[in-house]
Structure 1
Amino acid sequence: MGAGSSSISGLSSNEYLQRFVSPEIITPNDPFWNQVLSFTFSIPNSSSDYRLLEESLTSLYEELVKNYATSGNVASLIHVFLSRATELKASTQCENNVFTWQAYNALFIIRCICKLLLQHLPESDVIEVLQTGPASASESVAGDDNSTLVEELVTSLVEVIVDVPLVDLTYALHHEATTALIVLTSALVFSSGDVCHLAVFKMLMTGRASIHACLFVKTLLKRFMAQDKPPAKNEGGSVVLGLASGLWNVLTFGLVGSEETTKKGPESPLATQSILLLLVLANHCTADRNIRNPYRQALLHAQNFHDPAESTPTQAVATFKLEFATLYKTLYTHLQEDQTTLVLYLLLHKNEDFRTYVLSRTDMENLILPILRTLYHAPDSTSHHIYMSLIILLILSEDDSFNKTIHDIPLKNITWYTERLISDISLGGLLILVVIRTITYNMTKMRDKYLHTNCLAALANMSSQFRSLHPYVSQRLVSLFETLAKRHARLCESLRQADYMYEDSENDIPDALSDVSVLEEVLRMVLEILNSVLTHQLSHNHNLVYTLLYKRHLFIPFSTHPNFQDVTQNIDVVLSYLMGRLETTKRDPGVQDVQEVIQQGVLHLPKDRLKKFPELKFKYVEENEPEEFFIPYVWTLVYQSSGLYWNPESICIFDPSQPDG
């Protein structure tokens, strides 16, 4: 990794690195640093490359841990970076690229050291390694207070991201600063305990870095919104006369701009790292009342740039303004990614201004269709991604205008829905189809009670606004009830048989009773949804009524069941009334005859014959301790998407062998 080095395999024998990890004291102003930081090594840009890099550094790492207290060289390197970082903004304006080059290389070495240390040592020991000066006081850096050196580093990284202009030659530096902060906050991944007791998180939440929280969150969001690609290679050679020919490639992220890089990782590595870091900051230290998370607060109080309302001076939380239109477009364009879905969830659930903006959009299909596509291809997605997608639908379904609008948005030729060719359907109809399909998938594959609950809650919220349902949607809705009814009948029969053979089956009875209880909750919910449609939108759902008439035998057993007879009452009234009108028509009425009876009958059915029920309304509420879900989830995303190598044997907070961690 020293000057002239270009091969991972040669790092362990590199003379500069061997000297760096030796007991020899190298002060921050030693000419050695200009040499070691002038390398042209191609930086890895995939987890497999980083794994090779870490394995090649094993012997050097062992020497470093053995000698750091004597030499203090790690602290010296941090001082070198800090000295160059203070000049970065000015040097960028003056196009002095040497500072950028050396600051980037210094930060890359620091980040590699931190990564290796955190995988093997507690955070307190890592901080000791990073800021321990040389054993010889006479050789130490005069006037430096190493007790706060790590906080200086953390603050400097935040300031680099918010202050240094993003141009071609600083792209890699911004990416490295963002990645370094992800690494510095990763101690929790390799240990168990309270995240707010970790020193780096305290520095970020309550230290000097926190004063930049509002601007920092805005910058990370703008990086995500911009989706800037790494600058292309300069085929003409060196950019600045007199610098090494590899400088451009070093400063522009190694192999950027090449076809190989596009295949290996995301098109915008900086956007990916920025959104991952934002998720790390926004989802930690949210449960401790003694620590206020300024990054989460900033994210959840972001305002639309075009909103004339200004924050009042008495408002306790600092806010910033952002182009919601650009953010909205970026979100729906990248919703196939787990991390984007999680950001959308946070904004919709916690940021009232953004939720209001989204609900006012007239192109709602752009946001909903990617979510439905994720749910439709559930086997190809993680359970977390499915879960968060459903919660987003549930949050949106809490709004009556959304529930009404989606049935007014026509769709044509949804090519990814392959079960049946549907040439003309509303967005609301497609949403119902996909949610029903998710329920069916969950029953056979995942068997997650909470997933069922969220699916049915979303359908229940929307049910009073179901209008002009497509015949296929009506069939699928009633078929869902039929599937559940058949399963309920089988379970009840099994219980009766088990009760008859009690002595041999008593251990199975509690489980069977539990299954019946859960299934009856789901069945009742489906009946309530059907009841809601008939109560509020009877005249607008001829296709659903036709399907109910065709399958009316399914509801007979439930009309006398004590757990269901109240919610089947209106279904019985409607179907009995229409059957009575059918009996006065032709002896063998055809499809057209039945449809005409329905169209006229639903208009003349006396409304007072239908029992009134409270409108179905469900509101999403986070669990009491959301960090138990979100922290492992966020680090699973970092593990999968950051491009870094994380030794799976060292990870404690999630299972790397599982798709969802």
Structure 2
Amino acid sequence: MQGPERAWKRGRTELKVQKIHRLLRRYDPKNQTDPKHRRKPAELTRRSAANPPNTSEKSRSAEHSADQSLEKVGADSKVLEEATLSICKSLLENNPRTGNFGALIRVFLRRTNELKISAECQNQLFIWQAHNALFIICCLLKVFICHVSEQELLLHFSYCKREPGSYEPDSEDLCEELLFCLIHLIVELPLLDITYSVLLEAITALIIFLSYQLFNKEIIHESVIHKYLMHGRCVSNTSRLVKTLLYNFIRQEKSPPPGSHVFQQQADGGGLLYGLASGVASGLWTVFTLGGVGSKPTPQQDQSSPLANQSLMLVLILVNLTDAPDCPNPYRQAVTSFKNTQDSSVAPSPTPHSFQINFNSLYTALCEQQMSDQATLLLYTLLHQNSNVRTYVLARTDIEILVLPILEILYHVEERNSHHVYMALIILLILTEDDGFNRSIHQVILKNITWYAERVLTEISLGSLLILVVIRTIQYNMTRTRDKYLHTNCLAALANMSAQFRSLHQYAAQRIISLFSLLSKKHNKVLEQATQSLRGPLGSEGAPLPDYAQDLNVIEEVIRMMLEIINSCLSNSLHHNPNLVYALLYKRELFEQFRGHPCFQDIMQNIDMVISFFSSRLEQAGADLSVERVLEIIKQGAVALPKDRLRKFPELKFKYVEEEQPEEFFIPYVWSLVYNSAVGLYWRPQDIQLFTMDSG
């Protein structure tokens, strides 16, 4: 097996880290069906570095409540789907003769013309009618898309009440008109209690329009609906749509209580039809509010924001649409180029569809919502593809409020799905590519990290905590998943930081050497097994030699990386890390077996020299030295050690590079999040083709 690919450039070592969908492999969401993986964002509060957020027990309780709420919504959606399926299928069969689907859409389009004025005047009748019409359209669309091709769907938009099977070839393109109307509604209609439901329904309708991907095994590259969104009238609202959806995510507006958006019955009773209409609207709204009819809202329900969740889902879907042959994805262009409203020096962007948004508000929302897969995926997208966001995040002086939730995701690796863990890890890798970040995290001092259970951490730097969590992830992977690529990315993050290690916590220094000890034992065990296998009959069927050889090669690559990390720290910041030197001396015997190994001889020179130099000074100081005295001698020796005695190696730098066809991973991943977490949407598992779904 070949080692990590390296490219030398401008005196720096850059590693092309394993590309993402090779890392994550094709999406298999079986582990997503466990309710513990369907989490709502936990509440995180902004705190000072000295008082970091305690997200362990509180967030777990909130997530448990959110899981129950999501299960309730999922149950409501499933009941609705089953109750309306036969009616929708009947309309599907009769629509070529009746044209009722097109007629319903025209009713909705007429109602939307008055929506903005109705909202301004607090006139709820038109809003209620538009919402109910759109709700029915969504129910029908879901069934149509699941059972007919895209071309057949477009025909259903054109059927009218004439002879059976007739249609108007020269009529307006009702499908494009509906898409344009939905986008126009989202960007123009103000968000109020009375408009919340219709805005949510409009966003849901766009998600349903794009859900053909769920019923295709292959990634869709050509689609009429995609063409409407990326080429037609809709494209003029690209930046406004993305901006509105992001602000919906930022604001996290709670859903209004059931009935608050429904007009009140007049004093004179208003007539039977008026009261019936109010009752129907109130009943429909329970599908979209967490809890349903007659249920008592939990605290987490009160804080939930279906609109924010659905908006984020739609952003992720739009950003990951594949480019058209003659046009790049305009929604990706918008997301990857938007700028900060607070930057007065911003010049007009040459990138199409660029806009400005408040980065401070976006940063706060991203920090608070990291316990959800979709928020972590948005953060990854912005850090990887939007240089303006990446620069802003790296310049923040409160970077800990972003990094701590990411570390907690990695710490609870056994409770998270593997894709969430990988996204969190790659975010760390992207951040550690910046030397300023690597320096600043050692200057942020945290107190009382309650979710870290292995040891009481009353005071520790953010950098040392990051090292502890990444090492713990490596050890978990060694004993459980044994994924080489996860090792590669964890070690890449440590390597990027190694030259800037500062004042490492004694426990962090111990864990670095303990990990090397674990790798050393693993190496010896595999080497012994390989040696024993050589004594067996060569060439026999099922001989284990190839497996042992491969395992040995992998473990030696990891050991080499660990030695390079230790060497990088010693070469660049030895005088800042007496605790690491102490741990190195305490376990010096671990390194003896690697001195003569051909794979490690060069990198062992500096480590050997440091061990010999400080061992000599300790011997001169006498026996029975206290820990404090040993550390004092190490600090004095670090000043006295001539730097020219340490051999210089190229700077250890790793860079994350995305796969050339990232849609092979991201599109199934995004749609799995929609399947599991979108509000008010249910698809039968047996109908899903994009990924393997456990229907049980």
Equivalent residues in 2 for 1:456-605, closer than 5 Å: 456-503=491-538, 504=540, 507-605=543-641
After superposition, give the CA deviation of every residue in 1:56-93 in whole Å (9 maximum; x if it has no partner).
22322332232111111111111111111222222222
Question: Could you tell me which residue of structure 2 aligns to residue 60 of structure 1?
Answer: 87
Instruction: Please give the secondary structure, in 2, of the residue aligned with 1:246.
Output: helix
Question: Could you tell me which residue of structure 2 aligns to residue 200 of structure 1?
Answer: 225
Instruction: Please give the secondary structure, in 2, of the residue aligned with 1:452.
Output: helix
Between 1:449-458 and 1:462-471, the stretch displaced more is 449-458
Q: 1:225 aligns with which of 236, 246, 250?
A: 250
How far has the Cα of 1:96 moved from its partner? 2.8
Question: Could you tell me which residue of structure 1 aligns to residue 59 of structure 2?
Answer: none
Contact 2:125 2:263 in 1 (8 A): no
Contact 2:194 2:261 in 1 (8 A): no
- Letter matched to residue 355 of structure 1: R
How far has the Cα of 1:261 moved from its partner? 5.2
- Letter matched to residue 547 of structure 2: D
Q: Does 1:164 align with 2:225?
A: no
Equivalent residues in 2 for 1:169-184, closer than 5 Å: 169-184=194-209
Between 1:84-93 and 1:219-228, the stretch displaced more is 84-93
- Letter matched to residue 661 of structure 2: E
Question: Could you tell me which residue of structure 2 aligns to residue 619 of structure 1?
Answer: 655
Contact 2:197 2:285 in 1 (8 A): yes
Contact 1:466 1:533 in 2 (8 A): yes
Structure 2: gaps (5+ residues): 1-70
Give the distance between the partners of 1:519 and 1:342, measured in 2 at CA. Answer: 31
Question: Could you tell me which residue of structure 1 aligns to residue 46 of structure 2?
Answer: none
Question: Could you tell me which residue of structure 1 aligns to residue 440 of structure 2?
Answer: 405
Equivalent residues in 2 for 1:351-362, closer than 5 Å: 351-362=386-397
After superposition, give the CA deviation of every residue in 1:340-388 in whole Å (9 maximum; x if it has no partner).
0011111111111111111111111100000001110111111110000
Q: Does 1:349 align with 2:384?
A: yes
- Letter matched to residue 249 of structure 1: S
Specify which structure has the bigger relative contact order, considering alpha-carbon pairs within 8 angstroms and separated by 6 or more residues: 2
Between 1:291-300 and 1:386-395, the stretch displaced more is 291-300
* TM-score normalised by the chain length of structure 1: 0.88
How far has the Cα of 1:507 moved from its partner? 3.1
Contact 1:119 1:650 in 2 (8 A): yes
Question: Could you tell me which residue of structure 2 aligns to residue 89 of structure 1?
Answer: 116
Give the distance between the partners of 1:527 and 1:342, measured in 2 at CA. Answer: 32
- Letter matched to residue 322 of structure 1: I
After superposition, the Cα gap between the structure-2 partners of 1:281 and 1:238, relative to the gap in structure 1 and judged at 3 Å, is closer
How far has the Cα of 1:472 moved from its partner? 0.6
Give the distance between the partners of 1:548 and 1:74, measured in 2 at CA. Answer: 74
Q: 2:348 aligns with which of 312, 315, 330?
A: 312
Q: How many residue pairs end up in the alignment? A: 612
Q: Does 1:334 align with 2:359?
A: no
Question: Could you tell me which residue of structure 1 aligns to residue 694 of structure 2?
Answer: 657
Give the distance between the partners of 2:262 and 2:548, measured in 1 at CA. Answer: 73
After superposition, the Cα gap between the structure-2 partners of 1:458 and 1:158, relative to the gap in structure 1 and judged at 3 Å, is same
Contact 2:425 2:489 in 1 (8 A): yes
Question: Could you tell me which residue of structure 2 aligns to residue 249 of structure 1?
Answer: 282
Give the distance between the partners of 2:495 and 2:611, measured in 1 at CA. Answer: 21
Give the distance between the partners of 1:484 and 1:589, measured in 2 at CA. Answer: 30
How far has the Cα of 1:197 moved from its partner? 1.1
Instruction: Please give the secondary structure, in 2, of the residue aligned with 1:502.
Output: coil
Between 1:609-618 and 1:191-200, the stretch displaced more is 191-200
- Letter matched to residue 189 of structure 1: L
Contact 2:340 2:358 in 1 (8 A): yes
Q: Percent of aligned pairs with the same residue?
A: 48
How far has the Cα of 1:253 moved from its partner? 5.6
Question: Could you tell me which residue of structure 2 aligns to residue 295 of structure 1?
Answer: 331
After superposition, the Cα gap between the structure-2 partners of 1:568 and 1:658, relative to the gap in structure 1 and judged at 3 Å, is farther
After superposition, the Cα gap between the structure-2 partners of 1:138 and 1:508, relative to the gap in structure 1 and judged at 3 Å, is closer
How far has the Cα of 1:256 moved from its partner? 4.2
Q: Does 1:323 align with 2:362?
A: no
Give the distance between the partners of 2:281 and 2:262, measured in 1 at CA. Answer: 8
Give the distance between the partners of 1:345 and 1:236, measured in 2 at CA. Answer: 36
How far has the Cα of 1:193 moved from its partner? 3.5
- Letter matched to residue 598 of structure 1: I
Contact 1:151 1:203 in 2 (8 A): yes
Q: Does 1:276 align with 2:313?
A: yes
Between 1:333-342 and 1:602-611, the stretch displaced more is 602-611
After superposition, the Cα gap between the structure-2 partners of 1:341 and 1:81, relative to the gap in structure 1 and judged at 3 Å, is same
* TM-score normalised by the chain length of structure 2: 0.84
Question: Could you tell me which residue of structure 2 aligns to residue 102 of structure 1?
Answer: 129
How far has the Cα of 1:146 moved from its partner? 4.4
How far has the Cα of 1:49 moved from its partner? 1.3
Contact 2:686 2:695 in 1 (8 A): no
Instruction: Please give the secondary structure, in 2, of the residue aligned with 1:197.
Output: coil
Instruction: Please give the secondary structure, in 2, of the residue aligned with 1:285.
Output: coil
After superposition, the Cα gap between the structure-2 partners of 1:498 and 1:257, relative to the gap in structure 1 and judged at 3 Å, is closer
- Letter matched to residue 534 of structure 1: L
Question: Could you tell me which residue of structure 2 aligns to residue 119 of structure 1?
Answer: 146
After superposition, the Cα gap between the structure-2 partners of 1:194 and 1:629, relative to the gap in structure 1 and judged at 3 Å, is closer
- Letter matched to residue 499 of structure 1: L
Between 1:437-446 and 1:218-227, the stretch displaced more is 437-446
Of structures 1 and 2, the larger Rg is shown by 1
How far has the Cα of 1:151 moved from its partner? 1.1
Question: Could you tell me which residue of structure 2 aligns to residue 425 of structure 1?
Answer: 460
Give the distance between the partners of 2:572 and 2:131, measured in 1 at CA. Answer: 63
Give the distance between the partners of 1:252 and 1:613, measured in 2 at CA. Answer: 64
After superposition, the Cα gap between the structure-2 partners of 1:235 and 1:306, relative to the gap in structure 1 and judged at 3 Å, is closer
Q: 2:673 aligns with which of 626, 637, 643?
A: 637
